[in-house]
Homo-oligomer: A and B are copies of this chain.
């Protein structure tokens, strides 16, 4: 692997997105979301996996590089934005800044976004609230891959829910998870490598949960992910319901339709900020969060496990390492980035290192 400093990767990513038609500030914002994912070890949502896809979408016009984002409705604690086919990595941060302003004013701000495209790492948008001593929440509705409980066919996206809460000495609580048992990208990976997926993560072609480890037999198009909870007996109706919650808040509440009807590629989002100071003395909240997080991570581990984690802990540790040592990129990715930079008459990544 080639270690690449975050700043270097961010600069090249910004330039390539600009060359694809994005205004500089939007390109820099999108690059920051992508590189943040790389830094936190969420490689599936980082530069190496997503930049190629984003450039393809910009080239095809699926993503509008110069959207005119419009406020459709607004109240002191609420707003709906029409993203004009703008990508989530640009529009969601803009919406989150609105939500934070609203929360600073009335205590809570919820902003929904219709007519958008891929969100990027949901945690990024939720975490924007942290420096303001606010809780951040982000949801998204995406193309159908998930089979409702008892159903034969996918009707729901992997619909992530992210929640970030500020703390002091402890790394912040940052939850970010698809409401399917496993992430969508595990399907093509399993298919490509023939690597079996755990029991209780996918359904067969009739919708019946597969309860033995088995490699995915096909790519995305015919994927059937099980909801978080796997089967009715262990709570798949809960993951199914939570995926619907994410879709109702993101898509239906933003005046969009639902993604099963709109088709894959479409996305709608919701971001929310909750001002801690509107509810409790922030110092008290921070102190309790620290004690709460420490209580969780200091729980005695079960046999065979070294330690107990909480959402966001590993990602924070990874970010500390990668900020020092660089983001490890596969040589194939470096070669692709070099090629893309050369084609755009930009200095290659290798030359920048």
Q: Are A148 and B308 in contact (CB under 8 A)?
A: yes
Distance in angstroms between the alpha carbons of A237 and B292 in the assembled complex: 17
| Residue A281 CB within 8 A of the other chain | yes
Copies of this protein in the assembly total 2
A200–B135 alpha-carbon span in the complex (Å): 32
Stretch in A7-15, A24-32, A251-259, A316-324 touching the partner:
A251-259
- The CA-CA distance from A296 to B152 in the complex, in Å, is 11
**Which B residue sits closest to A108, measured CB to CB?**
B77
The answer to whether the Cβ of A278 comes within 8 Å of any Cβ in the partner chain is yes
Interface membership of chain A positions 272-296, coded 1 if the CB is closer than 8 angstroms to chain B and 0 otherwise: 0011101111001100110110011
Q: Which of A148-202 contact B (CB under 8 A)?
A: 148-153, 155, 161, 163, 165, 173, 175, 177, 179, 181-182, 198-201
Chain A residues within 8 Å of chain B by Cβ, number: 94
In the complex, how many angstroms separate the beta carbon of A222 from the nearest chain B beta carbon?
15
On whether the beta carbons of B75 and A252 are closer than 8 Å, the reply is no
Note all chain B residues with C-beta closer than 8 A to A280.
Answer: 72-73, 80, 252-255
Contacts A281-B255, A292-B258, A308-B148 hold; do A303 and B206 have CB atoms under 8 A apart?
yes
- Pair A245/B302 contact, Cβ less than 8 Å: no
Interchain CA distance A175-B148 in the complex, whole Å: 14
Q: Chain B contacts of A105 at CB under 8 A?
A: 76
Q: Chain B contacts of A147 at CB under 8 A?
A: 302
Cβ-based interface call for A329 (8 A): no
A19 and B135 CA atoms in complex are apart in Å by 42
Residues of B within 8 A of A75 (CB): 106-107, 275, 278
Residue contact A300 to B78, C-beta cutoff 8 Å: no
A261 contacts B by Cβ under 8 Å: yes
Contact between chains at A151 and B229 (CB < 8 Å): no
Q: A177-B241, A253-B135, A254-B280 are in contact. Are A153 and B109 (CB under 8 A)?
A: no
Task: Check A234/B173 contact, CB under 8 A, given A228-B239, A261-B291.
Answer: no
Contact A107 B135 (CB under 8 A): no
Contact A76 B106 (CB under 8 A): yes
A93 within 8 A of B: no
How many angstroms between the C-alpha atoms of A303 and B206 in the bound complex?
7
A193 to chain B minimum Cβ distance, whole angstroms, is 17
Say yes or no: is A263 at the interface (Cβ < 8 Å to chain B): no
* Interchain CB contact under 8 A, A288 and B258: yes
Residues of B within 8 Å of A179, CB to CB, are: 238
CA distance A242 to B176 in the complex (A): 10
Q: Is A98 close to B, CB under 8 A? A: no
Q: Does residue A64 face the partner (Cβ distance < 8 Å to B)? A: no
* Contact residues in B for A229 (Cβ distance below 8 Å): 181, 228-230, 235, 239
24 A-B interface contacts by CB (under 8 A): A75-B107, A78-B107, A78-B275, A108-B108, A108-B109, A148-B296, A150-B302, A151-B301, A151-B305, A152-B303, A153-B300, A155-B296, A181-B229, A198-B233, A199-B234, A200-B230, A208-B304, A228-B228, A248-B289, A249-B274, A253-B280, A253-B285, A257-B288, A257-B291
